[in-house]
Amino acid sequence: MGIKNKLSIAYSLFAARIFRKKIPLIVSWAITSRCNRSCQYCNIHNIKSKELTTPQVFALIDEMAGLGTRIIHFTGGEPLLREDIGSIIGHCRQAGILSSVNSNGSLISRRIEEIKNLDLVGLSLDGPEEVHDRIRGKGSYEDVVGALSVIKERKITPRILTVLSSINLGCIDFLLDKAREFNASIIFQPSTIFLLGGSQRNPLAPGEVEYRKAIRYLIDRKRKDKYTIGHSISGLKFLYDWPRLKKIPCYAGFISARIESDGRVDICFRNRLSRDAASGDPSGFKNKFYQLPFIYCDKCSCPSSVELNCMLSFKLDALFNMNKFSSPLLKNSG
C-alpha cells in the first residue's frame, strides 16, 4: 500500500473517530450466498438469495467510490462462483478501490488470470489435511495449499483465516508454520455457538476452557512472533472472553458496512438492521449507509472488526499493528 493510500485511510479513520464523520471506507460484500463446500459450522450454502446483476454491482462500486470507499472485501458463499468476479475486481481497480476476496481456494488456480488484479486473497485453513478435510470436505486442504502456492507466484498478498473449533485448538503451531511457509499473515476467529447463517447449534463450537487456553497461547506467541499473527494483543485479549464478549463501541456504521447479495446494506453480518431486502433495490447505498446507527456491540468475534475498534479506541499496540500489516489487516471484515 502506497503512502497516499495510507494517508487517505488514516484521515478517514481519524475523521470517523473524532468528528463522527460517516465514510464507508471499508465494505464487506457477500457477493453471493452460493458455495461449493458445506463446512460443518456453516449454513450459508443453504441460503437462497437473489444476486445483483453485473451492471448493478458496477453502479454500486461507482457510488461507493464517490463516497470515499477505499477497500471492498468480497465474501460469500464462495465469491469465485460468480462468473463475472474478474470483471467486478477489474471495475474496483478502475474506480481506485482496493479489493480482496475470502475464498475456500477451490477455484483460485482455475480463475487466477481473471482475479490477478486482487490486492489480497484470504483463504480458510483450519489445520492439517485430516482436520481441515473433516471440517470442510475431502480434498479441500489440497485446494487451499494449491491456492496459496498460486497466489504466492502471482505476488498477491495472502492471508489465512482459521476458525477455532473443538477439533483444531491443538493445531496452532502447524497453522503458524504454514503461514510462515507462504509468507502469509494469519488471523483466528472463534467458531460460533450456532451455525453461521443458521439457527441450529454448531456441533464444532469449542469449549470455553480449551478455547481460552488457545488464545493465551496465541498471545504468548504474538509477543515472540510479531509478524505472522495478524491480531494485536489488545484484539486477542478482547476475543479471549468469547462467548461472553464485552460490549464495546462499534465504528462499523461509520467507517464500514456490509452489503448482502441482494443489495441490502447492514452494519455487519451479525447486526442486521436493514429492512429493504425484499424490494431487491440495490440503489441508494449512500442513504442506506447514512441511516446505519452507532451501536455498542457484544456480538463481535470478527477479528478485523475487533482490530478496527481497538485502533479507534486508541489502543497503541493496535495502531502499531495496523501500520505494520497496513492494508491486509483492513481487508477481511465479515
According to the per-residue pLDDT averaged within each range, which of 217-226, 250-259, 294-303 is highest? 217-226
pLDDT computed for residue 77 by the predictor: 92
Reported as a single tens digit per residue, the pLDDT across 79-103 is 999 999 999 999 999 999 999 999 9
**CATH, range 3-330:** 3.20.20.70
Of 230, 127, 228, nearest in space to 183 by CA: 228
- Average pLDDT in the 12-24 region? 78
More confident residue, 10 or 26: 26
pLDDT computed for residue 27 by the predictor: 94
Give the CA-trace dihedral at 128, 130, 132, 138, to 10 degrees: 140
pLDDT computed for residue 270 by the predictor: 74
pLDDT computed for residue 274 by the predictor: 54
pLDDT computed for residue 225 by the predictor: 82
Reported as a single tens digit per residue, the pLDDT across 114-157 is 999 999 999 999 999 999 999 999 999 999 999 999 999 999 99
pLDDT surpasses 60 at 2: no
* Candidate from 104-108, 173-177, 242-246 with smallest mean pLDDT: 242-246
Q: Percentage of the chain with pLDDT > 90?
A: 58
* Candidate from 24-38, 42-56, 99-113 with smallest mean pLDDT: 42-56
Reported as a single tens digit per residue, the pLDDT across 263-279 is 999 888 776 655 453 34
More confident residue, 214 or 319: 214
pLDDT computed for residue 278 by the predictor: 37
